[in-house]
A and B are shown apart, each in its own frame.
Chain A
Amino acid sequence: MEISFRDLITVLHGMGFGALFMLAFSGAIGVIYATAVVGAEIPVPRRANRMFRFYLISMATVAWLAVLSGAYIIYPWYRAAVPPGVTDLGGYPRSLLLSSPFTAGWHDLGMEWKEHIAWFTPIAMTMVAYVFMKYGPQLALHKHLRNAVLGFTAVAFFATAVAGGFGAFLNKYAPVRGGDEIVLYEQH
């Protein structure tokens, strides 16, 4: 059982960072709600508050890792120019998609949207983590701060869902492949 190096990095980008962020999203809403809404009446223990901070900082970190690995490692592989004389577009996902009117939309809409919208997530989550660290349980006293934090968190979720969803489809129609083959499991 083998996987190419580029496949492995793409999996790390999509499943390791992107999917992990999506999974953590409901927890983030819970953390903010528990501290800023319920925390006003039932104070959150200091230790739990520290854990909540760590949780949101981790989410922001994962969001940065997702966009940086996407833009600076995978995207160059995706958009690599086809050398003259090459007719097999298997190793050139962007060109492969654009070569047919039936798949061009996956690039024109999917990748063009994904490559930009994903960046709203780390910006939003860095802000959310900062505000949470700065105010902690005091967020309960600042209703408008809390609303903005929840709003930006929801937009971060939407942005990640769009980027992740299109990423999965793009990788179905024109997978980013190549590099050394890595053996994951050998059958004897």
Chain B
Amino acid sequence: MQITNGPGAAAILAAGIGSGTLGVLALAADASPPISHALAFWPPSGDLSGVTTVAIAVWLVAWAGLSRRWATRDVDLVRVNIAAFVLLLIGLLLTFPPFMDLLQGK
């Protein structure tokens, strides 16, 4: 029996969401000292500890939610893939220091 594409699509989109979140949080921590301070969950690692912990939490929550929703469904994978790769690209760009600096006018 063929498995529906829903569970796989949920994992792919969640990976995109987690990657995009990582980029947004990395930029926010770089641009704002209060956010950087708030994300310093473990001071020896600074805001990196909070940026990555929150991104991983968002990724896992998104994965769990989408998996439940799409457990037995077939979804439009072309749209899911486009969304996932756009989010991944956003994540990659926002973690690239020269692009971060450009956005902040540094």
Contacts and interface: CB of A to CB of B under 8 A. Distances in A.
Co-complex (A, B): yes
Interface of A: 67, 71-72, 75-76, 79-80, 108-109, 112-113, 115-117, 119-120, 123-124, 126-127, 130-131, 134-135, 138, 141-142, 144-145, 147-149, 151-152, 155, 159
Given A113-B96, A134-B3, A148-B85, 16 more contacts: A71-B45, A71-B48, A72-B45, A72-B49, A75-B48, A79-B45, A108-B97, A117-B92, A123-B59, A126-B15, A127-B11, A127-B15, A134-B11, A145-B9, A149-B12, A152-B88
Contacts of B77: 142, 144-145, 148
A128 B19 CA distance: 14
B45 A75 contact: yes
Contact of A127 (B14, B23, B56): B14
A145 B51 CA distance: 28
A145 B74 CA distance: 12
Given A119-B55, A144-B81, A131 B8 contact: yes
Contacts of B44: 72, 75-76, 79-80
Contacts of A75: 44-45, 48
**Chain A: interface secondary structure?**
helix
A17 B104 CA distance: 34
A151 B84 CA distance: 11
Interface in B2-59: 2-3, 5, 7-9, 11-12, 14-15, 18-19, 22-23, 26, 30, 42, 44-46, 48-49, 51-52, 55-56, 59
B78 interface: yes
Contact of B52 (A71, A113, A134): A71
Q: 6 tightest A-B contacts by CB? A: A76-B44, A144-B77, A116-B95, A127-B15, A145-B8, A112-B97
Interface string B88-101: 10011001111010
17 contacts: A72-B49, A75-B44, A80-B44, A112-B97, A115-B48, A116-B51, A117-B96, A120-B88, A123-B18, A134-B11, A142-B5, A144-B78, A145-B9, A148-B77, A148-B80, A151-B85, A152-B15
Contacts of B12: 127, 131, 145, 148-149, 152
